[in-house]
Amino acid sequence: MAQRTRADALSRERIVEAAVELLDADGERGLTFRTLTERLATGPGAIYWHVPNKGELLAAATASVIGDALTVATTGSPWEEIRALGIGLFEAIDRHPWLSAQLAVQLSRSPWSSVTPRIFDSIGRRVSALGVPEATWFTATSALAHYIFGAAGQNAANARVLRSGGTDRAEYLRAAASAWEELDPAEFPFLKSIADQVREHDDREQFLTGIDLILTGITAQGRT
């Protein structure tokens, strides 16, 4: 890589951008200050000036990706905006395989850091605009956030397993559905009955339907 010029000044934003690129390529193990200096054609001192350690670098990379995912258009419909936030986070976690683990770390260990407040406030403002009782805002927002991260994380994990095994998703679902159809109906009546739904389902549509189900329950409380 060509040596960067003084005019092409190193910034925290460029460091974080390069960190995201390295994380996308090789996960957390691929992000070191050595690989980062090579990617940016600079010395470690220039990076340490902006980011003192790997933990802060991971947090900054997470915040950057999440910030983009939380950028949704104002439509005047809190329900639709929550759906847009959900699919934005779903797709971000799908595109960045390392993100789910980093979110889990920040949500559990650093709820006061920049990421957790931004996520909960973005969802919570729309929940409060639904007209539901204020006493339910925290629980309702938490339910949505936990569903979004759980479902998106599981989807991303499934995709990684399929990619690593070189397995086609449609083929995998057909095999799973066929196996469920062969189950003993006396022991597994439910799984056998939904096998055909598994074969043709769309992950994003299923995810959004889950958000709609939660929102239906949340808004029902406001009518009681």
pLDDT in tens, 80-103: 999 999 999 999 999 998 998 888
Report the CATH number at residue 217: 1.10.357.10
Handedness of CA 197, 200, 204, 208 (dihedral sign): negative
Report the pLDDT averaged over residues 21-33. Answer: 93
Task: Supply the pLDDT for residue 172.
Answer: 85
Domain count, the chain: 1
Q: Is the model's pLDDT at 5 over the cut of 70?
A: no
The three-point CA angle 6-64-11 to 5° equals 10
Residue 148 lies in a domain: yes
- 86 Cβ contact list (under 8 Å, min separation 6): 144, 148, 207, 208, 211
On whether the CB atoms of residues 57 and 15 are closer than 8 A, the answer is: yes
Residue 37 lies in a domain: no
Residue 60 lies in a domain: no
On whether the CB atoms of residues 155 and 113 are closer than 8 A, the answer is: no
How many whole angstroms separate alpha carbon 154 and alpha carbon 72?
23
Q: What percent of the chain shows pLDDT beyond 70? A: 94
Per-residue exposure over 44-83, b if at least 16 CB sit within 10 Å of its own CB, e if not: eeebeebbeeeeebbbbbbbbbbeebbebeeeeebbebbb
Q: Which two tokens stand for residue 75?
A: 């439509």
Task: Supply the pLDDT for residue 224.
Answer: 58
Residue 21 lies in a domain: no
Residue 67 lies in a domain: no
The three-point CA angle 82-118-21 to 5° equals 95
Report the pLDDT averaged over residues 40-66. Answer: 91
Q: What is the DSSP letter of 2?
A: P
Task: Supply the pLDDT for residue 2.
Answer: 41
Task: Supply the pLDDT for residue 223.
Answer: 67
Residue 8 lies in a domain: no
Q: Exposure of 191 by Cβ count < 10 A (0-12 exposed, 13-18 middle, 19+ buried)?
A: middle
On whether the CB atoms of residues 203 and 172 are closer than 8 A, the answer is: no
Query: Domain of 207?
Result: 76-222
* Most confidently predicted of 44-48, 109-113, 212-216: 212-216
Report the pLDDT averaged over residues 162-166. Answer: 79
How many whole angstroms separate alpha carbon 187 and alpha carbon 162?
29
Report the pLDDT averaged over residues 90-118. Answer: 85
